[in-house]
Amino acid sequence: FPLLLQSSNFFGFGIGPGGQAGQQPFDRHAAERQKHASPLAAGSVTEARQPIVQVSQLAAQLRLLASREAELARRFGQLFLVFVAAAGVRGIGEAEQAAAAEAQAARRLRSFQFNSEDEFIGMFQHYASQSLGGIQAEELCRILNEHPSIRNYYRVTWSLELCKIMLAMLDRSRDGVMQYAEFRELLTCLLYWHRTFQEYDRDRSGFIEANELHNIISSRFLYRLSAKSMTMLLKRYSKAMDDGRCLVAFDDFVTLSVRLRTYTEAFRARDRMQHNGETGTCQFSYDDFLQCTMSLCERGLAILYNASAPEVTEIMKKFLFHALASQAHGSYKQRMGSYQNSQYYGSYGQHMVQNVYSRINPWQSFQFRSENEFMSMFHHYSSPSLGGIQAHELCRILNEHPSIRNYYRITWSLELCRVMLAMMDRSRDGIMQYDEFSELLTCLVYWHRTFQDFDRNRSGYIEAHELHNIITNHFHYMLSPQAMTVLLKRYSRAMNDGRCLLAFDDFVNLSVRLRAYTESFRARDQYQHNGSETGTCQFTYDDFLQCTMSL
């Protein structure tokens, strides 16, 4: 993990595994920290650019603090493990590295009840592919869900999509394969997030109150977010109950933690690259933006930082992301139809209107006798108090209703349903109305037909190299080879015979995110340039999070 030790006016101060960029120090211990303040933690932006070579001294100070107060021991103990995880690039001594590795190993072994580090390594190698030298998301999902000690520790069912996100966060080589060292770091993060979650889940129900999420993000993970961004996170990663409460499950908490940390690190590194310091703003080209948001891998994003970026000549006035706000006006079909062919974005909007909305009727595709019957099915699952469905109900419809389930013949994950809901949610309230549901099902029918055209043997997979043809010639996007490579590595699975295969649910996930991010970026481009398109946009940190974290 990169060490972001300096306090920032734009990103905050955080260092914990839940987020390497965050907010001001803990208020309750401000005096104690000031008394024992490290020059690494208290430096200005100018000092932040100086080489950090005093990690050993800082580690000693942290151990001193930990010995003085139980609360600090609990929090800074986790912090020390993060320091030593990155010791190789920060100049910590070999003795400190060895001690840190021993502490990490002991913590993991105690938590998962392994007898030795060798047994822990043996478990990993049992699931790893010899030809790949590591595990992919499918094997990571099997380890978390199948291995008795790990499964019994967390007591949740890990989705494949969440495992893909976690793998991408630590995939240094950008090849879709997780090595043992990366797996070890991930398990350390998961332990920290689980213990943080357990502190608030006092009744062990598997949920925490959504309002407590604000306290965790700001006071524990130490991010600096606006009220609007915090509200967006609460709506995106919680479930509204009929009694008015909003609850967050542990797997959703992990998804939020992974994505928030990754996007913050990516934005902050790009900000420093463009401005030789921190301004809280970044310039993105459309292609850079897609590689950043679609890959979800801050270590692999180094290719973006070496690219030449347009010089930022002025700081745009901060405003709520225009594309998100504009979704409240007009249907998705109308928004797609308003986009003309573009040298920067392609002709995907006109293609959707001409080939999807004008030709596909969802209720007929699923063999409903009438649209009224289709609408009644929707209302059967919807909540009267909310006036629509949430992601959980959407997941139930796709997996439970016989005609829809038999049409797709896959198991839809809750995370993918949340992403699809966010794409269509014009009011940004986490609720899907009937017209939004009908538009989504229209898109799904089209994507399924396109997928079937290439899945000629009906195996449920297509060759990853065919994805280029689909995106450019069927969906009519205009992407660079670098962006296409990111999509292939993020959403396909490497087989032992050298092939890369893409499953239908991954294909849908890709299609949803590509459509939503392109539409959002394009709307912002037009808004910033008086209706013209330049293929570039200016983002503040908060705007960027509201765009990327809403899906």
The dihedral formed by the CA atoms of 266, 271, 273 and 277, expressed in degrees to the nearest 10: -130
Q: What whole-number percentage of the chain has pLDDT above 70?
A: 70
What's the rounded Cα separation, in Å, for the pair 457 and 459?
Answer: 6
Q: Which tens digit of pLDDT belongs to each residue from 206-219?
A: 889 887 888 899 88
Phi, psi torsion values for 223, nearest 5 degrees: -90, 155
Contacts of 537 (CB under 8 A, 6+ apart): 283, 284, 286, 289, 521, 524, 525, 528
Q: What is the pLDDT of residue 236?
A: 82
With a cut of 60, say whether residue 45 has pLDDT above it.
no
Q: What is the pLDDT of residue 175?
A: 75
Q: What is the pLDDT of residue 374?
A: 94
Q: What is the pLDDT of residue 300?
A: 30
Q: What is the pLDDT of residue 298?
A: 30
Of the listed ranges 8-17, 451-460, 503-512, the one predicted with least confidence: 8-17
Q: Which tens digit of pLDDT belongs to each residue from 133-143?
A: 899 989 999 99
Q: Which tens digit of pLDDT belongs to each residue from 173-212?
A: 777 789 999 999 899 889 989 999 999 888 888 889 887 8
Q: What is the pLDDT of residue 31?
A: 37
Q: What whole-number percentage of the chain has pLDDT above 90?
A: 21
pTM of the model: 0.67
Strands 246-249 and 536-540: unpaired
Q: Shortest CA distance to 19 belongs to which of 8, 35, 32, 29?
A: 8
SS3 526: helix
Q: What is the pLDDT of residue 507?
A: 92
Q: What is the pLDDT of residue 432?
A: 92
3-state secondary structure 339-370: CCCECCCECHHHHHHHHHHCCCCHHHHCCCCC
What's the rounded Cα separation, in Å, for the pair 267 and 367?
Answer: 47
Q: What is the pLDDT of residue 229?
A: 87
DSSP for residue 129: B
283 pLDDT tier (thresholds 50, 70, 90) = very high
Kind and range of the H or E run holding 537: strand 536-540
| Other CB atoms within 10 A of residue 148 CB | 9
With a cut of 60, say whether residue 102 has pLDDT above it.
no
SS3 500: strand
Per-residue CA distances from 445 to 103, 345, 362, 438, 504 (Å): 52, 24, 7, 11, 12
358 pLDDT tier (thresholds 50, 70, 90) = low
- What is the rounded average pLDDT of the residues 369-377? 93
Dihedral of CA 31/32/36/40: which sign? negative
Domains of the chain plus CATH, in order, are 100-198 (1.10.238.10)
With a cut of 80, say whether residue 76 has pLDDT above it.
no
Residue pair 172/85 in contact by the 8 Å Cβ criterion? no
Q: Which tens digit of pLDDT belongs to each residue from 397-414?
A: 999 999 999 999 999 988
Q: Which tens digit of pLDDT belongs to each residue from 233-280?
A: 888 888 878 777 889 989 889 989 988 888 888 888 889 999 988 899
- What is the rounded average pLDDT of the residues 446-450? 91
What six digits make up the tokens of 198? 């357990």
For residues 43 and 117, the model is more confident at: 117
Q: Which tens digit of pLDDT belongs to each residue from 310-356?
A: 222 222 222 223 333 333 334 444 444 455 677 888 877 666 666 67
What six digits make up the tokens of 271? 């900000």
With a cut of 50, say whether residue 95 has pLDDT above it.
no
Q: What is the DSSP code string of 50-107?
A: S----HHHHHHHHHHHHHH-HHHHHHHHHHHHHHHHTHHHHT--HHHHHHHHHHHHHH
Q: What is the pLDDT of residue 534?
A: 93
With a cut of 60, say whether residue 308 has pLDDT above it.
no
